[in-house]
Structure 1
Amino acid sequence: MIAALWNPTSRSKQADEIGRRIRCEQWVRNQIAQARELSYTLRDVSADELVAHTNRLRIAARDPKAEGLFADAAAAVIESIRQTLGINLFDVQLHAGFVIASDAVAEMQTGEGKTLSGVLPAYLKSLTGRGVHVITPNAYLAKRDQEKLDPIFSRLGVTTAILVEQADPSVNRQAYQADITYGPAHAFGFDYLRDQISLGDGATAIFERIQNRLQDSEPIQRPLHAAIIDEIDNVLIDDAVSPLILSSGGDQQAADAELHRIAIVIAKRLEAPRHYVVDESQRMVHLTETGFQQIYEKSDIAVHPQLVRPWHEYVTLAIRIKEFYRRDVDFIVSDGKIKIVDSSTGRIFDDRTWSGGLHQAAEASQRLPITAETRSLARITRQRFFRYYKSIAGMTGTARGCEREFASVYGLAVQPIPLRIPSRRVMQSDCITRTFAEKWAAIADDTQQMNELGRPVLIGTSAISESKAVAAELEKRGLCFQLLNGVQDADEASIIRNAGQTRAITVATNLAGRGTDIALDTTSRELGGLHVIVTQRSGLARVDRQLIGRGARCGDPGSARIYLSAEDELVCRHAPWIAKSLLRSTANNLQTIPKIQQQLNKAQTNQQRREAMLRLRLLKKDNETETLLRRQTSTHKIT
């Protein structure tokens, strides 16, 4: 099993075979033509007749050699959507649906109709009766899509359900019996881990039964069959750096709370490189000999009865918080708790904590109550979990740059879907400034000019602290705006949805509202459409593309501009030599020098490569651990 799980060569070959098929333009054109022709035979049929059509396809799907199901299924979907929503699917949506149904990734640009493109593959995969999981980055998108698409599937005789987080197991067990189950990625993973604990025969399962924590040993999930993943790069790539960990505890006060507080005080007195050496790439620190001597001067702390790890590890945790973890960038303080911020999307996680005492060090640094460390009951990397599905596929607007990882890790080919209408986006010249202060002022000037023209503006920031700085500049100019920085995400979708209205100004952390369409009103469209401002380049180029893609969608007019500063994180942390070039270029009327663009592109590529290697190491370590556990349990069966 493990050998099959980690075999990049075989998975790449699998991706190549699928890729050859979906890249065959003639095959795609034939499928679309057949689907269109068959859909006319179903025109205006009753719901009962559509259900009968589905039942015929279910019988045909039992034959593994059955052919022609793609076009027949697409015809039914076309008609059901037409009857339910009054919408005729575009060819590009059918194209994307066929790609996803072929177990591949459809790269479909923002606004091209990804949600409806996912109906065909979900319907087709459901015909076997083994269950389909439609996976989204968050619970809001899962609920929105299930509510919108359920009438379409119901007309076809296909049932849908949605996972309810923190619900009784019986509630979600019932949801998994539906033909198609919607939910956020982590919810499917945690239910899988719960089943492994309750049904396993290992020490963890026995301990939980002794504690009477496992009241029901019946599985929650059915065997993993098919997964269709929205924003698949976010779920399978970005989030894959953090494993799924099912844990308990964490509500009580930490017994070693005082030691964390003392460590924070001592860490403030230590200096690099005299007392410790910083490893930027790994966000780690290493004490020097002088550092060790300094922190062990008081021998009574080193033998403190509440120590749960060596004393110097408390200090290194405190130094890591001081050096690498910034409030309103990497975490926020809300309701008296530390809440982690997703570095790529700006989204705030209510259900995640750092492990190994790092979370407790962060609590100590902010003078909050220090909670006990959670105890891990079960864990799995997201890569390994998703590779347990017999079939995975999905869609996103930003798969470019991830093709190699999709192929080697998941066996997925990537196919770009052509635009339905040519893009009218105007990319303006980058604006270069020396400092953050100059940049915020320049962004406010740009925003004010667009506002006076009547055009809407979307300002995408990389951190909550940036969004506050931009907001302060806008307030100085008396401009009215909406601030969406992950802190108040209850109205996130409605705020983003209205960002295309005349004179609307929206300040948002990078990918806030991802998955929500921004519609232009008639006036803003006539005036030039949405103007997107990128406050600084992300470490990943596709995050920038996702933000820029929020404007000028579906043939709408629009423009975008990127702002650069010698103080930007990408420059300071990953390419400090670029700062000199940026400072020199400001003397040339703020004109972008092509060489700087090339250097920044290279810095982003290097950052993407580093993150890919980190995910690969995590996966290999996970597989090695699994192999060891299997050997142990096969040798020492617990009876």
Structure 2
Amino acid sequence: MIKSIINAVLGNSNDRAVKQYRQIANNINGLEKEIQSLNDDKLLEKSLELKAKVQNGMTLEEALPLAFALVRESGRRFANMRHFDVQLIGGIAMHYGNIAEMRTGEGKTLVCTLPAYLNALTGKGVHIVSVNDYLIKRDCDWMRPIYEGLGISVGCVLDQMPHKEKAENYGKDITYVNNSTLGFDYLRDNMKADPAEMFFLNKPFNYCIVDEADSILIDEARTPLIISGPSVENTEMYIRINAAIVLLKPDDFVVIEEEKSVHLTENGVDTIEKILNGYGILSGQLYDDKNFRIVNHVQQSLKAHKLFTKNKDYIVKDGEVLLIDEFTGRILAGRRYSEGLHQAIEAKEGVEIQRENQTLASITYQNLFRMYKKLAGMTGTAKTEEEEFIGIYNMKVIAIPTNNPVARKDYEDSVFLTKEQKNKAIIELVKEANGKGQPILIGTASVEYSEALSDVFRQNGIVHEVLNAKNHEREAKIISDAGKFGAITISTNMAGRGTDIKLGGNIDAMILDGTQNIEDEAQKAEIIVQIKEKYEVERQKVLEAGGLLVIGAERYESRRVDDQLRGRSGRQGDKGETIFMLSLEDDLLRIFGGDRIKSIVSKLGFKPGEAMNHSMLTRVIRYSQKRIESMNYDMRKNILKYDDVLNQQRIFMYTKRLNIIKNKDLMPEIKNMCHDFLTHTCAQAGLVAGQNLLNNQIVIDKIKEIFGREFGKDDAQNFENIDIAAQSLYNLCEDKLNGCILQHSSNIVDSVLMSIFISTLDELWQSHLSMMTALMDGIHLRSYGQKDPLNEYKIESYRNFDLIMTLFISMSLHRIMAFEIQD
């Protein structure tokens, strides 16, 4: 009640933030005339002066008004784009570490130049992260004149770019890069042995702006980034397990669609045990400790058959299983499911099974982006997920007002009893709208449904384009034409594609197509004028027809993705219409809203074939989506809790590794290792440093055994305490290394030492990751023993990490004493 009164009087927190930022924008406006009076050289000089001041102590907040005024003028002068006041407000919000929620077409790409330039003045680097290489290259090239006009260097890093080029672009003041490339480059940095080869050594993560922030920081955060290497797993096992799963009956397993999980029943366990015993690949009971790998194979094959659907979650193309990004509809080139799931799907589809990989390095997107000193973002839809942004990334979502009022009409959902009735209604609506030339975009959530709908359109003689994972190579052309008069486009997950549909078509693409073979400049200029005139006529016809009509043929699991689809229409104050047309057979309504919706339908007395338009139905659908969003949030939080355990160890390991690489004198490290090694040995026998070792024959025998086995010496009877024993062990190592230096050189020996330390550390870390991955597969079963799986995971993880650090010392010392340098 009190909160409502405060909001009524003072406005909510979003309104107050926008009001505060608007005052700063007014200050920026006050500098505009002064900055416009500068010529190009003076503008650059002003920028360099500001950069020097920031690097000499001026705060970024003090520099903000002038910095933003310089960027606005550079945009007007060098890119023919002047920032609107609402874009200034969006830039201010991002500078302060928030997510700027701006509707489609409001110019987010231009907005980010403001905080990017301001934060680049520190010289510590700025990363602008987007969802794919096409967008980062487009945005970098598009915005480059603005930055370079102010003396700021800018570059973009592409996935397949040569290492030297990548290093050069990461070294720029501002770097555009896609999220997966950034993550994998970070992981690879921590697998290198040469500091000169590292991208982030001299420019650690400082300030980052995440484009399509909800897609990257939430949707893609379900799956960690993993660098893998080949394992020795036998692929024949997947074929045998697949054959067993096919024989299961409906009462052998339970599918929980809401949780996207599947489990064997008691009957199912008995059935699988009988089948696998018959195959000769199982001894004893399925859940015996020795069968943990078989349990994983069974579980993954069960998921492959019961939870993953061809042409929805993946496609099979040229004998290969290719994943579909559920948020963008694109093929995820080079990406594979982990933990044997991809191999299980390959066995299910009867294609060649590629060997399973073992994890060499991994990190979640949450922990990757939380490494930045300051993180900001921009997107068209984020407010519904603000709780998650605050809880995980400590970022608020600021909804930025539009530059022009929204003229789009959003209609209530139309719900039908069956998909057939829905498809019929979509056909009728499409024919009606197309009759007046209105461009139409039909959004679907799966490749399967987009193709089924396309078949229905063809049967009804409706000419259209289809954009999904099977023809994504034509994406740019299809989207470019989707806003033209009379265009009809069916698209899978249009919401996540990151490009606008412009009424009348894409003028830039038209000019490029119309002038690409013209060399005469006068002729080219004349053609451009003609194209622009034709475009304006086309655009006006589309506006008169009602603008872009968006038909959502399915509701998505997330309200945010629905809002993104709606946002394709009505950009920058254009006319437009949107409607969702659903059926009770759609997965979302069937799984999450079935009984409640059927009850409402029964009460309201709708007839077969009749469209059900009622606010009660819309509320139930929204409620169902909230349930799914809450479940997905819990899933991501759970993933993060487990990765936080590993992240502490990852940071320790990467720091230790980097210190070894940067340290030119490793002898002090070896001395510490000798002491730690013997301290651990004695601790196992109940002794501590300082105690007389001669009084404990068990320890003497143990040390003698170790010196004899590992180092070929037997001097333990002379040790009075650990310090003396450690010094003796160090002397042995020193003598060994000095002998090698006499034969070769100190540089060669230093290189060998570093190689020993790094290879041993990497080997043990990879072993630890594999052990943790295997542990994760079954840790939830401990809840049946009234134990908290997360606590159990922490205990096992810390125990194993202590073990590998102890092994690192003993293995390194052994390898130091054993190595030989060949001439």
The equivalent residue for 1:41 is: 34
1:319-468 correspondence to structure 2 within 5 Å: 319-468=302-451
Q: How far apart are residue 515 of structure 1 and its match?
A: 2.3
Task: Name the stretch that deviates more: 605-614 or 61-70.
Answer: 61-70
For the Cα contact (< 8 Å) 2:102–2:379, is it kept in 1?
Answer: yes
Q: How far apart are residue 216 of structure 1 and its match?
A: 7.1
The equivalent residue for 1:223 is: 204
Amino acid at match of 2:582: L
**Mapped pair 1:264 → 2:232:** no
User: 1:355, 1:420 → 2: CA distance?
Assistant: 45
Amino acid at match of 1:397: G
User: 1:385, 1:67 → 2: CA distance?
Assistant: 26
User: 2:620, 2:573 → 1: CA distance?
Assistant: 31
Amino acid at match of 2:268: G
Amino acid at match of 2:215: N
Of the three residues 580, 584, 587, the one matched with 2:607 is 587
**Mapped pair 1:279 → 2:222:** no
Task: Name the stretch that deviates more: 582-591 or 112-121.
Answer: 582-591
Q: How far apart are residue 527 of structure 1 and its match?
A: 1.4
Amino acid at match of 2:239: R
1:136-535 correspondence to structure 2 within 5 Å: 136-198=130-192, 218-221=197-200, 222-249=203-230, 256-272=234-250, 274-297=251-274, 298-299=276-277, 301-303=279-281, 310-511=293-494, 514-520=497-503, 521-535=539-553
For the Cα contact (< 8 Å) 1:529–1:552, is it kept in 2?
Answer: yes
For the Cα contact (< 8 Å) 1:23–1:415, is it kept in 2?
Answer: no
Q: How far apart are residue 23 of structure 1 and its match?
A: 3.3
User: 2:321, 2:67 → 1: CA distance?
Assistant: 48
Q: How far apart are residue 581 of structure 1 and its match?
A: 4.1
**Mapped pair 1:72 → 2:90:** no
Amino acid at match of 2:401: P
**Mapped pair 1:610 → 2:631:** yes
User: 2:412, 2:261 → 1: CA distance?
Assistant: 37
Task: Name the stretch that deviates more: 107-116 or 471-480.
Answer: 471-480
Q: Deviations over 1:8-59 (max 9, x none)?
A: xxxxxxxxxxx96993445323322221221211215333222212211112
The equivalent residue for 1:210 is: none
Q: Highest relative contact order (Cα 8 Å, sep 6+), 1 or 2? A: 1
Q: How far apart are residue 622 of structure 1 and its match?
A: 0.6
Change (3 A) 1:230 1:67: closer
Of the three residues 5, 13, 20, the one matched with 1:27 is 20
User: 2:451, 2:460 → 1: CA distance?
Assistant: 15
User: 1:141, 1:28 → 2: CA distance?
Assistant: 28
Q: Deviations over 1:451-498 (max 9, x none)?
A: 001100000101001110111111112121111012222231332132
Q: Deviations over 1:161-208 (max 9, x none)?
A: 111213333221111111111111111111111112225xxxxxxxxx
User: 1:494, 1:180 → 2: CA distance?
Assistant: 30
User: 1:512, 1:102 → 2: CA distance?
Assistant: 27
Count of matched residue positions in the alignment of Structure 1 and Structure 2:
601
The equivalent residue for 1:569 is: 587
User: 1:256, 1:282 → 2: CA distance?
Assistant: 31
For the Cα contact (< 8 Å) 1:60–1:66, is it kept in 2?
Answer: no
User: 1:323, 1:382 → 2: CA distance?
Assistant: 28
The equivalent residue for 1:52 is: 45
Q: How far apart are residue 540 of structure 1 and its match?
A: 0.4
User: 1:150, 1:136 → 2: CA distance?
Assistant: 16
For the Cα contact (< 8 Å) 1:301–1:311, is it kept in 2?
Answer: no
For the Cα contact (< 8 Å) 1:50–1:157, is it kept in 2?
Answer: no
For the Cα contact (< 8 Å) 1:264–1:318, is it kept in 2?
Answer: yes
User: 1:310, 1:625 → 2: CA distance?
Assistant: 22
For the Cα contact (< 8 Å) 1:456–1:501, is it kept in 2?
Answer: yes
Change (3 A) 1:349 1:635: closer
Change (3 A) 1:185 1:23: farther
User: 2:280, 2:649 → 1: CA distance?
Assistant: 34
The equivalent residue for 2:78 is: 84
- Identity across the alignment (%): 34
The equivalent residue for 1:15 is: none
Amino acid at match of 1:249: P
Q: How far apart are residue 346 of structure 1 and its match?
A: 2.0
Amino acid at match of 2:324: V
Q: How far apart are residue 434 of structure 1 and its match?
A: 1.7
User: 2:126, 2:355 → 1: CA distance?
Assistant: 38
For the Cα contact (< 8 Å) 1:457–1:531, is it kept in 2?
Answer: yes
User: 1:229, 1:411 → 2: CA distance?
Assistant: 14
For the Cα contact (< 8 Å) 1:302–1:310, is it kept in 2?
Answer: no
User: 2:593, 2:66 → 1: CA distance?
Assistant: 53
For the Cα contact (< 8 Å) 1:433–1:582, is it kept in 2?
Answer: no
Q: Deviations over 1:201-230 (max 9, x none)?
A: xxxxxxxxxxxxxx7763122201110111
Q: How far apart are residue 256 of structure 1 and its match?
A: 2.9
For the Cα contact (< 8 Å) 1:105–1:414, is it kept in 2?
Answer: yes
User: 1:527, 1:280 → 2: CA distance?
Assistant: 42
Of the three residues 93, 96, 102, the one matched with 2:87 is 93
Of the three residues 561, 565, 570, the one matched with 1:547 is 565
What SS does structure 2 have at the residue aligned with 1:554?
A: helix
More helix per residue = 2
What SS does structure 2 have at the residue aligned with 1:402?
A: helix
User: 2:13, 2:464 → 1: CA distance?
Assistant: 48
Change (3 A) 1:66 1:509: closer
- Flag structure 2 segments of 5+ consecutive residues without an equivalent: 1-11, 284-289, 504-538, 653-797, 813-823
The equivalent residue for 2:129 is: 135
Amino acid at match of 1:137: V
For the Cα contact (< 8 Å) 1:567–1:579, is it kept in 2?
Answer: no
Amino acid at match of 2:88: L
Amino acid at match of 2:27: Q
What SS does structure 2 have at the residue aligned with 1:473?
A: helix
For the Cα contact (< 8 Å) 1:386–1:392, is it kept in 2?
Answer: yes
The equivalent residue for 2:642 is: 621
Change (3 A) 1:494 1:101: farther
**TM-score, with length taken from structure 1:** 0.89
Task: Name the stretch that deviates more: 229-238 or 36-45.
Answer: 36-45
For the Cα contact (< 8 Å) 1:429–1:591, is it kept in 2?
Answer: no
The equivalent residue for 2:752 is: none
What SS does structure 2 have at the residue aligned with 1:558?
A: strand
For the Cα contact (< 8 Å) 1:302–1:311, is it kept in 2?
Answer: no
Which is greater in Rg? 2
User: 2:208, 2:327 → 1: CA distance?
Assistant: 23
User: 1:308, 1:335 → 2: CA distance?
Assistant: 35
User: 1:475, 1:342 → 2: CA distance?
Assistant: 26
Q: Deviations over 1:419-457 (max 9, x none)?
A: 111111112232222222222222122111110011000
Amino acid at match of 2:607: A
User: 2:454, 2:315 → 1: CA distance?
Assistant: 18
User: 2:151, 2:196 → 1: CA distance?
Assistant: 31
For the Cα contact (< 8 Å) 2:495–2:564, is it kept in 1?
Answer: no
The equivalent residue for 1:6 is: none
User: 1:484, 1:476 → 2: CA distance?
Assistant: 19
Q: Deviations over 1:278-333 (max 9, x none)?
A: 2334433322332222222252535379x996434433322211211001111111
Change (3 A) 1:98 1:216: closer
Q: How far apart are residue 598 of structure 1 and its match?
A: 1.4
